[in-house]
Amino acid sequence: MALFSKIYGALGRNVRTGAIRCMSSAPQMPPCDFKPEPYQGISYDKAREVRQTKLNPGMFVYYKKPVMIHQGHMQYLWDVDGKRYLDLFAGIVTVSVGHCHPKTLKAADDQMKKLWHTTNIYLHPAVHQYAEELTAKLPEHLSVVYFVNSGSEANDMALHMARLYSGCYEVVGLRNAYHGVSPYVIGLTAHSTWRYNMPAGFGIHQAMNADPYRGVWGGKHCRDSPVQTNRSCSCAEGACEAVDRYIHELEEVMRYTMPKGRIGAFFAESIQGVGGTVQFPKGYLKKAFDLVHSKGGVCVSDEVQTGFGRLGSHYWGFETHGVKPDIVTMAKGMGNGIPLAAVVTTPEIGKVMAEALHFNTFGGNPVSCAVGSSVLKIIDEEGLQENCAVVGTHFLEGLAKLRDQYDIVGDVRGKGLMIGIEMVTDQASRTPLPADKMATIWEDTKEMGILIGKGGFYGNVFRIKPPMCVTKADADFALGVLNQVFEKHRDIGKQ
């Protein structure tokens, strides 16, 4: 109880029942000395009008009354009215070292004064320096890089390269995975909510997802996380039986769909991001990679959301699984918000791109590469990987206490500062909390000053992936907000 009081501050104890309850005062956001500039741009109402009449309706917005962001500084955002928010979604896991970090600003400004753009048909210092710095962060065999602008582009190229190199067109991904929405790679994104009624996914097959919480097998001893699911299972601690069962299902897909037992490639996120921060049982990816390699396939690790120290224990998500990928894709936090992505692979696989002409006009842009180089330095100099481990574990342990208290919190999972909270009608049934009830809780968190994402196949997972400079005080504030909101809506699953 002392720990709860310390974490939440605005909590009290009901003496008769011993239950933790909310006090009337709202949790207070940690102080910040930064002062945003007065807003003088387009009005909120005019922006809403333009949104409705001039922008494609496919560009959806968060919240009933969308937030109109004016300025950002590190882990905080300010709207046009001057209200401050703790950003726990980081521009969809993209702002890694902090909004408008002064060192990234300086790197961009210095480069822009010299050269904004020239394509890679010429040499320019920024792209070559950055390529050397980036590959130095990866295992030695991953030594050649091709720069692009987004995660979708990176996975698109990785799929192309893997098929060319392996000589096999057939590819396997996992259900619930998200790898982008370009016309070529949409077949790897196994969420019907992202799919249009168009031909897609030729030669792509989805295997059963190895999910210890919502999958067929798995439970409380399976995940590499400070917090385990409270779902019971027959596995002994340290020995996950679910792994071999899920691998058998993967092998069945290959057995019945691959030509003559061969496979072109296998794609996997280290932790599924859009899918709701889903973690695989320990050892699953290692056995999956070994199986694919035995069939002549290429293993692709999608690090778009899990790379650059976000998981805390390792710089890259694939390192937490003890695997050796043949291709790694990366984006998002790589540029701290500047469009920057890459495909890194072996020299042997990289050579296939020289078989015909291929070009990316903006890939390896001087300004993007200068910012990317500054991001690598900031992560190291400011100890942000360690911060992810310390603050992320603190956050997860606090969320686990909320799960133990509120029946609508079905699962808390993640590693470092990649965290998911799966909401349910009740823990016994694990029935996903309906969209309208999720929205009710979500709106309240926004009103109380925190911005979080949503994901999962059912849209019932709150996604917490803040800038990696977030502090324990920020985490405590967020925990206090979530506690009050969950207390307010503790019976929403029964309504």
- What does the pLDDT look like over 361-411, one tens digit per residue? 999 999 999 999 999 999 999 999 999 999 999 999 999 999 999 999 999
* Domain total of the chain: 2
Confidence of residue 241 (pLDDT cuts 50, 70, 90): confident
- The answer to whether residue 187 is domain-embedded is yes
Indicate whether 48 pLDDT > 70: yes
| Domain assignment present for 150 | yes
Asked if 72 contacts 99 with a C-beta cutoff of 8 angstroms, the reply is yes
| CA 289 – CA 260 distance, rounded (Å) | 19
Q: Give domain status of residue 294, yes or no.
A: yes
Q: Of the candidates 264, 301, 294, 299, which has an alpha carbon nearest to the alpha carbon of residue 166?
A: 264
Full residue range of the structural domain in which residue 421 is found: 29-88+384-494
CB 245 within 8 A of CB 216: yes
Residue 365 lies in a domain: yes
Contacts of 341 (CB under 8 A, 6+ apart): 147, 148, 149, 150, 151, 153, 154, 304, 329, 330, 331, 332, 334, 335
Q: Closest by alpha carbon to 459, among 210, 67, 191?
A: 191
In a domain, 488, yes or no: yes
Q: Which amino acid would we find at residue 342?
A: A
Nearest CA to 127 out of 474, 453, 292, 365 is that of: 365
Give the span between the Cα atoms of 317 and 328, in whole angstroms: 10
Question: Among 328, 271, 313, 319, which Cα is nearest to 465's?
Answer: 271
Query: Is residue 197 situated within a structural domain?
Result: yes
Asked if residue 279 and residue 396 are part of one domain, the reply reads no
On whether both 336 and 473 belong to a single domain, the answer is: no
Grouping H, G, I as helix, E, B as strand and the rest as coil, residue 212 is coil
Q: How far apart are CA 409 and CA 422, in angstroms?
A: 6
Is 147 in the same domain as 58? no
Helix (H, G, I), strand (E, B) or coil at 20: strand
Residues, the chain = 495
In the chain, the amino acid numbered 274 is V
| 68 C-beta neighbours (distance < 10 Å), count | 17
Q: Based on the domain organization, do 427 and 323 belong to the same domain? A: no
361, 381, 401 - which closes a domain: 381
pLDDT per residue as tens digits for the range 171-212? 999 999 999 999 889 999 999 999 888 888 899 999 999 999
Last residue of a domain, one of 381, 399, 419: 381
Residue pair 469/383 in contact (Cβ under 8 Å)? The answer is no
Q: What is the CATH number of the domain that holds 49?
A: 3.90.1150.10
Please tell me the predicted confidence (pLDDT) of residue 238.
67
CA torsion sign, 450 to 455 to 460 to 466?
negative
- Within this chain, do residues 209 and 248 fall inside the same structural domain, yes or no? yes
Tell me whether strands 409-415 and 418-423 are parallel, antiparallel or unpaired. Answer: antiparallel
Statement to judge: residues 188 and 325 lie in one domain: yes
217 and 339 part of one domain? yes
Residue 212 lies in a domain: yes
Which tens digit of pLDDT belongs to each residue from 68-118? Answer: 999 999 999 999 999 999 999 999 999 999 999 999 999 999 999 999 999
What radius of gyration, in Å, describes the C-alpha atoms of the chain?
Answer: 23
Instruction: Give φ, ψ of 268 to 5 degrees.
Output: -155, 140
Do 239 and 136 share a structural domain?
Answer: yes
Q: Does residue 122 sit in the same domain as residue 78?
A: no
Of the pLDDT bands very low, low, confident and very high (cuts 50, 70, 90), residue 483 is very high
Are residues 491 and 475 in contact, defined by beta-carbon separation less than 8 angstroms? no
- Is residue 165 pLDDT above 50, yes or no? yes
225: phi > 0 → left, psi -120 to 50 → alpha, else beta; which?
Answer: beta
Q: Distance of CA 323 to CAs 42, 287, 291, 406, 455, Å?
A: 50, 9, 12, 37, 26
Answer yes or no: do 305 and 237 share one domain: yes
Query: DSSP string covering 284-312, please?
Result: HHHHHHHHHHHTTPEEEEE-TTTTTTTTS
Same domain for 429 and 361: no
What's residue 53's pLDDT?
Answer: 94
Structure tokens at 84: 């401050």
| Structure-block tokens of residue 348 | 């042997």
Rounded to the nearest angstrom, the gap between the alpha carbon of residue 254 and the centroid of all alpha carbons in its chain is 28
**Helix, strand, or coil here: 53?**
helix
Which of 338, 353, 381 lies at the terminal end of a domain, its last residue?
381
**DSSP secondary structure string for all residues of 186-211:** GGG---GGG--SS---TTEEEEPP--
One-letter identity of residue 455: G
Name the residue type at position 493. Answer: G
- Closest residue by Cα to residue 487 from 445, 432, 429: 445
Q: pLDDT band at residue 5, thresholds of 50, 70 and 90?
A: very low
The reply to whether 465 and 369 lie within a common domain is no
Q: What CATH number is associated with residue 322?
A: 3.40.640.10
Position 4 scores a pLDDT of 39
Residue 140 domain-assigned? yes
What number of other Cβ atoms are within 10 A of residue 269's Cβ?
Answer: 26
